[in-house]
């Protein structure tokens, strides 16, 4: 999984998170299209960036866990 830093933005009465055009293309989506959003899965995919000095380490650790989940799981099962 490729983690990207994004900012939450207020648009009218809604909050928006942007996605890249590359993401749209890879997922065969177009601007203006209506999609379903699984908020439970989205909750697992979003990590709040801490404002203290450890935020970079926390981000990198979370990214590593997401990218290597199966490897870590296999190591625990040994």
* pTM beyond cutoff 0.85: no
Q: What is the full DSSP assignment across 2-63?
A: -------EEETTEEE----HHHHHHTT--TT------HHHHHHH--PPPSSTTHHHHHHHHH
Q: What's the pLDDT score for residue 51? A: 64
For 60-69, write each residue's pLDDT tens digit.
Answer: 888 888 888 8
Per-residue pLDDT, 53: 63
pLDDT tens, position by position, 2-57:
778 888 898 888 899 999 999 999 999 999 999 999 999 888 888 887 666 667 77
- In the numeric block, which tokens belong to residue 11? 């648009």
Residue 73 to residue 45: CA distance in whole angstroms? 18
Q: Give the other-Cβ count within 10 Å of 13's Cβ.
A: 5
Helix 55-67 and helix 69-76: axis angle, to 10°? 80
The pLDDT value given to residue 74: 83
């Amino acid at each position: 999984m490729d983690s990207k830093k994004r900012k939450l933005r207020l648009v009218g009465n809604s909050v928006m998170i942007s996605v890249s055009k590359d993401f749209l293309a890879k997922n065969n989506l177009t601007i203006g299209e209506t999609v379903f959003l699984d908020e439970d899965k989205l909750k697992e995919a979003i990590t709040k960036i801490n404002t203290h000095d450890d935020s970079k380490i926390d981000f990198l650790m979370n990214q590593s866990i997401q990218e290597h989940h199966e490897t870590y799981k296999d190591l625990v099962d040994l």
